[in-house]
Amino acid sequence: MSDDLFSQLFNLFNNDDGEVNWQLAEQINNHINKDVQEERLLSNSDLNYQEIFRVIELSHKSNANNEFTPLELSLMDSKRYGTWFLNSVKHFDFSELQMFEGLPAGILGAQSSLIGMQLGNIAGFLSKNTWGLSHFGIILPRNSSLAINKNNFDLRISQFSIDEKEATIALMLLEYIALTLGEYTAPFNYLIKQLKKSNEELLANIKDVEPNFDPSNFSNPEDLMSNIPELNNFDIDSMLDVIFAPLSFYRSVIKYFAKNLIDFIDSSVFDLIMDLGLVSNQGPGSDFELKISKYDEKSDSFITFLIESKNELSLHDIISDINLIPSVDELNDPISWAARTSLPPI
């Protein structure tokens, strides 16, 4: 029996499924969501989710339409939502990650399995802890079906004393916009670029660490980092901010487009629903929410600056070009971004 289990694990980890071991990714998502019970998900008795979707669809078609526009609505439990997320990012060239160089050549599929593990964990985390793509500003998935992570979606709406139908329309529209923006890969490529830069800085600081240093002596990452003298002057928070700041900016972009698509819902409803600081969340995603939300005001202000200054670059231009996405410093100082992006290329 143990031999059979070992063989199954070996085959799973060495499944040469191209650049990503998608089978492993789905297995990990399913494991994270193992406590989810199969159930028939229905919309609230006094709300017709399909009707709301059609209203949004008609509003969007009257403004713009592209091949990435969702054609149908699907209500899902968290396990199915995680699977939907994985299927929706398969268009991306994950070979660009190149985050696992130097692995033993004899380990077949190691690269694709490690990426699969990461994506499976991301899918599981998002499906368990978010109401959807707009929660953390995820711009990448492409799918003809707009997935609603039903239980978390409904939970978010129930947290506010506002008209339930308006809140549902607003939150579904935010998800709709986030999915249509999946035509752009620059936002995700920018995150990868920032991660690589941070990793290089971290590696440069620990290259001279004592050879006898044993990380197993420490119970958490904070203790580990604080006991590496080479990292005493390394700002870990700033390393993470290069990820959280752009995610906040993407959230503001999604919110801006949603506000400007329909005029029968007050814009304050979108602000309320997207405000991660208004409702206390003690779950695993609360630390992410705290770190992202500290940039939300700056992100909104950046977009206000862009519109009021009548900059020739639109938000679509910005999220379509990795070189136009504002840095952490530029979110704090939009004028510096305007100066950089207006300079002729060298």
Instruction: Give the pLDDT confidence of 221-262 residue by residue, as tens digits.
Output: 555 555 555 555 555 666 678 899 999 999 999 999 999 999
Q: What is the pLDDT of residue 63?
A: 63
Any idea where the domains of the chain sit in the sequence? 7-58+67-183, 188-204+217-251+261-342
Residue with the two structure tokens 């289990």: 5
CA-to-CA distance for 341 and 345, rounded, in angstroms? 9
Instruction: Give the residue among 75, 72, 86, 96 at the shortest CA–CA distance from 138.
Output: 86
Query: Which amino acid is residue 68, in one-letter code?
Result: F
CA-to-CA distance for 40 and 259, rounded, in angstroms? 32
Instruction: Give the residue among 322, 311, 295, 81 at the shortest CA–CA distance from 187.
Output: 322
What confidence tens digit (pLDDT) does each residue in 310-333 have? 999 999 999 999 999 999 999 999
**Model's pTM, two decimal places?**
0.85
CA 266 to chain centre: 26
CA-to-CA distance for 92 and 138, rounded, in angstroms? 14
Return the higher-pLDDT residue of 59 and 1.
59
Question: Where does the pLDDT of residue 106 fall: very low under 50, low under 70, confident under 90, or very high at 90 and above?
Answer: very low
Mean of the per-residue pLDDT values for the chain?
A: 83
CA-to-CA distance for 126 and 277, rounded, in angstroms? 18
CA-to-CA distance for 228 and 226, rounded, in angstroms? 6
What average pLDDT does the segment 172-198 reach?
93
Q: What is the pLDDT of residue 7?
A: 43
What confidence tens digit (pLDDT) does each residue in 47-78 have? 799 999 999 999 887 666 577 899 999 999 99
Which residues, in sequence order, are CB contacts of 272 under 8 Å at separation 6+? 160, 162, 278
Q: Considering the chain, what percentage of its residues have pLDDT values greater than 70?
A: 73
Q: What is the pLDDT of residue 94?
A: 87
CA-to-CA distance for 22 and 25, rounded, in angstroms? 5
What confidence tens digit (pLDDT) does each residue in 258-278 have? 999 998 999 999 999 999 987
Q: What is the pLDDT of residue 204?
A: 65
Q: 301: how many CB neighbours lie within 10 A of its CB? A: 14
Q: What is the pLDDT of residue 6?
A: 40
Q: Tally the C-alpha atoms within 13 A of residue 66's C-alpha that lie toward its C-beta.
A: 12
